[in-house]
Amino acid sequence: MKAIHKFDDSSVRQVFEGYDKPVRDCLFQLREMILDEAGRHPEIGEVRETLKWGQPSYLPVRPRIGTTLRIDSVRSNAGQVGVYFTCNSTLADDFRQLYPGVFEYDGRRAILLSVDGPLPEQALRHCIALALTYHLNKKQ
């Protein structure tokens, strides 16, 4: 799979190029979902793609809109990738309530996904949108 959205940061592109193909393809799918969901929700606005702790990371440019999402391979399991978010948030608990049995979790910090087979796209897109609007949703 190739990126549909252009990379603005060559260091992020290089990180993607360093993954094995199954992981890279899955991470490309997640990247496209994140950037697509940001575009579908005007309240999110522009999203910055950068590296945090060496991981591709996505955060609304405007402050106090959402929380950072990071995506990466799971070091302890080559067949998994993670969608990481701040463990100080309620996101993991929210996702567990909304989608029981759909995802595997790494405590309060990540959704873990298999690189084999289809991703639960509808649920993932909803979780991505909730993370990218996390601070807005807390104000309501």
Residue partners of 80: CB distance under 8 A and separation at least 6: 73, 74, 104, 112, 113, 114, 115
Work out the average pLDDT over 74-90.
Answer: 93
- Bridge partners of 49? 58
pLDDT tens string 3-59? 578 898 999 999 999 999 999 999 999 999 999 999 999 999 999 999 999 999 999
* CB proximity list for 114: less than 8 A, separation 6 or greater: 79, 80
- Which option is the CATH number for 10-139: 3.90.1150.200, 3.65.10.10, 3.20.20.140, 3.30.70.270? 3.90.1150.200
Yes or no: say if 47 and 5 are a contact pair by the CB < 8 Å rule. no
Q: Is the pTM of this model over 0.85?
A: yes
In the chain, what are the domain boundaries? 10-139
Average pLDDT, the chain: 93
